[in-house]
Amino acid sequence: MSTKKPATPKSELAGTDTLDRSNTNAKLDSLETFRSDATGQALRTNQGVKVADNQNTLKAGARGPSLLEDFIMREKITHFDHERIPERIVHARGTGAHGYFQSYENHSALTKAGFLRDPAKKTPVFVRFSTVQGPRGSGDTVRDVRGFAVKFFTDEGVYDLVGNNMPVFFIQDAIKFPDFVHAVKPEPHNEMPTGGSAHDTFWDFVSLQPESAHMVIWAMSDRAIPKSLRSMQGFGVHTFRMINAEGKSRFVKFHWRPTAGTCSLVWDEAQKLAGKDTDYHRRDLWEAIEMGDYPEWELGVQVIEEENEHAFEFDILDPTKLIPEELVPITPLGKMTLNRNPDNFFAETEQVAFCPGHIVPGIDFSNDPLLQGRLFSYTDTQISRLGGPNFHEIPINRSVIPIHNGQRDAQHRSTIDKGRASYEPNSVDSGWPKETPPAAVDGGFESYYERIDANKIRQRSESFGDHFSQARLFFNSMSDHEKEHIIAAYSFELGKVEREFIRARQVNEILANIDLELARRVAQNLGLPAPKAGTVQLPKTSLDRSPALSQANLLPADIKTRKVAILAADGVDGAAIDAMKKALKAEGAHAKLLGPTSAPVKTADGKSLPVDASMEGLPSVAFDAVFVPGGATSIKALSGNGVALHYLLEAYKHLKAIALHGEAKQLLDVLKLEVDAGLIVGADTKSFKAFFAAIGQHRVWEREPKAKAVPA
């Protein structure tokens, strides 16, 4: 008797070219009930309840706090928080460092937070920087928002200031956060692109959500491709409260300002770095700390008196808005210094758990609806990632003061609790641990006494309704080269979008409301008709420009920690190398000697000089500037070396300062380049001043139009 199974008819094979869909759909539907098509279906909760409003969290009044009873928001956020294990859903790729924060003075008039009241106190901190979109294996230099999260280990408990390198966000209400992240993440059908937003689902979402316009233009600016983590600003994004010992509350916005200045990569450089050194940002931070170039940031706040809450042309509770510094200056509070690298990446950087709900007395929340949702989401996420509610016992998360409460047991408990009472009040253990009544200073935490008298409602406050004025302010505040980069970024990203109607919607309904010339240029680059007018009437505003928004105005006054490549071959002028290294060291900058190979090079007088790497081993994208010392034999060798010539052309294309010493002037003819403000030719050390001045400007922006034609 034959055991051979009869052949399956081709019409039933779901992978063949001859599949008759009309005959097999019913069978597929009956066998694969897990497949779902949402076409024509109502939006429902996981319990089958139809959703009437998927845009707004339930709040006590349009500007009031979000309510815990909002089961729709909690279900949505809870599901979102647990969609990935164990990698973070967002901010998966990160790097961190230890350091300390020290207050400039006693800020007790502003807050009763102890770490801001004692200028002699050094509060330990751990900082984690990250990209938002990509997984752990993605590149450091992709166009993306960067996370900037700081954990303060204060004597009053752990305080987490969890922010970004941009002062605003894409959405106004936390209920939309899962939608935004789902849209910006790689597309679900092919898991591409990794670490980038240049795809249909992201641009579909943001073109349908005008509230995202301000944040998107920040993401299309140079802010999204920072030169290093050390040269990156940080922002708390939300409006918080500070409360002093007398109970006086003020609204505040947090700012981190790097002492190294704020600057960025150019786009071609960022793309090349993604391939040549995926770990560029984390390597730069690590090496700076190891060399003793400790990164520093000044912490400041914009302070808004409670009575001035409604004094602006925007709502200070709207997380898509910033407060221009021209309206409210930044008050410096203190300085953070990072001076120690982690001992173990996983144990520290990967297991660190941040939550904006980790606050100390003297700091409290506002009713920002995005912040209100984050207070729930972050803790919920850590429970999934770190195996339960005891993530606070992991060493990197552990408070510097002892913890006593009735929260015992659960997974991964490491504390062995003595005593029989795990409840409060108790008399078995003489009532311990006990509550600490609130007091002016050093008392128990007491939430700010805010009166709420409003209806429960799902509604966006009308004061959140202007989505374009600040996006226009940002664009108007940019320098000419920054505007060109924004136009190029929109053109590049939208050029990757397959669906033309999404591109057209972004141009006509978003960009045209920001700036018509911006919209026209992007439309031209995409082959779309240029819009003739915006679709909304923008309100009149008191500010047309804010210089503090442009990175062109945020450069440091020196070239400390900058890196200069010195290119040399046998026969090089050793004295010129020594002079440059000495001059750079005096400025606090660093030099690396690069040769055609990793072998030592010989100077013109026969000395052997060890090199730090070959020119291929440390490419030009790893440096801020290039110096070529003289020496007839060396220059002859470099003139015939394709790697060396490409090195200089690439540095030129990326608008970096280049200094040619002595016979190196001959390279101008070989490369067919002309001297400019950043291409310095000199025979002695006097020319170093001009070279250093060009490095201090970060880039030679006037070279950019000409450099675009240079192959590299």
Torsion of CA 217, 218, 220, 223, to 10 degrees: 160
Q: Look-up: residue for tokens 């055609």?
A: 596
CB count, 10 Å around CB of 200?
A: 15
Q: Which two tokens stand for residue 409?
A: 């047991």
Question: Is beta strand 613-614 parallel, antiparallel or unpaired with respect to 590-595?
Answer: parallel
Contact indicator for 709, 576 with CB cutoff of 8 Å? no
Amino acid letter, 202: F
Residue 100 main-chain phi, psi, to 5 deg: -150, 160
Peptide bond into 86 cis (omega under 30): yes
The angle formed by the CA atoms of residues 515, 519 and 520, to the nearest 5 degrees, is 115
Across 177-218, where does the E strand assignment appear?
A: none
**β-strand partners of 60:** 456
CA distances from 536 to 345, 509, 513, 603 (A): 49, 9, 7, 68
Cα–Cα distance for residue pair 503/495, rounded to 1 Å: 8
520: CB partners within 8 A, 6+ apart? 530, 531
Contact indicator for 152, 101 with CB cutoff of 8 Å? yes
Cα–Cα distance for residue pair 219/513, rounded to 1 Å: 17
Residues with catalytic roles: 91, 164
3-state secondary structure of 153: strand
Contacts for 610-613: CB closer than 8 Å, 24+ residues apart: 611/568
